[in-house]
């Protein structure tokens, strides 16, 4: 957590799929214990690119310890400025393996050890807005399943094989009209999506549900908040044009955000009707789509009463509103394609 050079250069790819620690960043105490940990089989030391690194062999245990360490730092930072502490957490865990789970657990650990946490931490995470941009005019690194790093230089809609310095070789490949997108600043909101799995309310007001507020806000993200997997497998999406992209409701994956929404609506909660009404009023297609998948989950997995309630909402309100908004999108697109100045 204290390593300022973590997540850069040669280690960035490795650290996105595993808990790779630079040996140069180890404290004196850690160095003294390293041999014993290696002998016990708890860590493995090896060379990664130009760095000597250590890899924990029990990632689940290391993940818990990392969350505890993050909670300690978060508590200290939040005592000065809670919002900045939340922003620090989201940015520090960006690109860290399972960073969303670690961040959410850090906040939960803070709440369990101190009796609560400041809403400023949530505001700090909210302030890190996720974004997408085209993959163009840059040098990118890709990891193969065999562990090899491949460098590509992309410029003017073409891609070349290159070395790590951007010196190209061979003939370029046309990238075509379907350009790849890169996501950035997603971990902060993904932490919130994981945190929303736990019913959370403001102190002294149990009706002020923080988890509902979180899901309402991050549910409007115009693209799926999913972590890249080690195999590089994609997921099925629907393109809503200017409204963004959503996961396929039948064959797509499910986001932590949507899972949390389903869990919230599956439990008895007096504010459920108000939450659904507020979502309908917002008229955000990404948010409505996530709510639709959440209600389908409640319908399929909830008790009989909740299942009937979810099905009625889907048929009477959610699906018709989505169809109505999609019709508006379609008509708007057709109008945009009509030549101006012609009858």
pLDDT tens by residue, 26-41:
889 888 999 899 999 9
Residue 57: C-alpha distances to residues 44, 228, 341 (Å) = 7, 21, 67
CA–CA distance, 240 with 328 (Å, rounded to integer): 11
Say if residues 17 and 143 touch (Cβ distance below 8 Å). yes
Outline where 79-209 has alpha helix (H).
82-92, 99-114, 119-126, 187-195
Residue 333 has pLDDT above 90, yes or no: no
Minimal CA–CA distance to 317: which of 282, 288, 284?
Answer: 288
* Contact between 305 and 312 (Cβ < 8 Å): no
Report the Cα–Cα distance between both ends of the chain, in Å, rounded. 64
Helix axes 319-337, 285-301, angle to 10 degrees: 150
Q: Is the pTM of this model over 0.95?
A: no
Query: Across residues 214-219, what is the average pLDDT?
Result: 97
Q: Tell me: the pLDDT tens digits for 87-140? A: 999 999 998 899 999 999 999 999 999 998 999 999 999 999 999 877 778 888
CB 162 within 8 A of CB 168: yes
| 271-302 pLDDT per residue, tens | 999 999 999 999 999 999 999 999 999 999 99
């Amino acid at each position: 957590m204290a390593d300022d050079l973590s997540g850069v250069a040669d280690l960035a790819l490795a650290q996105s799929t595993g808990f790779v620690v630079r040996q140069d960043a180890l404290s004196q105490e850690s160095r003294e214990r390293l041999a014993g940990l290696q002998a016990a089989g708890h860590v493995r030391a090896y060379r990664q690119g130009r760095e000597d690194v250590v890899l924990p062999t029990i990632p689940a245990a290391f993940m818990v310890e990392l969350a505890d360490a993050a909670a300690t730092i978060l508590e200290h930072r939040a005592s000065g400025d809670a919002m900045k502490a939340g922003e620090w957490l989201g940015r520090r865990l960006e690109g860290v393996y399972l960073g969303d789970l670690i961040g959410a657990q850090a906040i939960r650990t803070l709440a369990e050890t101190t009796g609560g946490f400041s809403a400023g931490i949530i505001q700090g995470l909210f302030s890190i807005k996720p974004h997408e941009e085209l993959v163009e005019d840059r040098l990118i690194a890709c990891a193969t399943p065999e562990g090899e790093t491949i460098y590509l230089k992309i410029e003017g809609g073409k891609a070349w094989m290159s070395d790590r310095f951007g010196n190209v070789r061979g003939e370029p490949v046309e990238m075509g009209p379907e350009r790849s997108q890169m996501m950035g600043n997603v971990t902060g909101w993904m932490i919130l999506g994981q945190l929303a799995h736990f019913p959370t309310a403001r102190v002294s007001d149990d009706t002020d549900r923080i988890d509902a507020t979180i899901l309402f806000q991050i549910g409007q993200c115009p693209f799926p908040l999913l972590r890249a997997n080690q195999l590089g497998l994609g997921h099925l999406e629907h393109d809503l044009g200017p409204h963004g992209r959503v996961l396929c409701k039948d064959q797509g994956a499910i986001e932590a955000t949507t899972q949390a929404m389903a869990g919230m609506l599956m439990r008895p909660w007096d504010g459920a009707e108000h939450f659904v009404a507020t979502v309908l009023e917002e008229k955000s297609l990404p948010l409505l789509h996530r709510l639709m998948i959440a209600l389908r989950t409640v319908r399929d997995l909830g008790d009989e009463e909740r299942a009937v309630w979810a099905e009625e909402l889907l048929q009477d309100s959610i699906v018709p509103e989505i169809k109505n908004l999609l019709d508006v999108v379609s008509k708007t697109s057709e109008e945009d394609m009509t030549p101006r100045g012609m009858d």
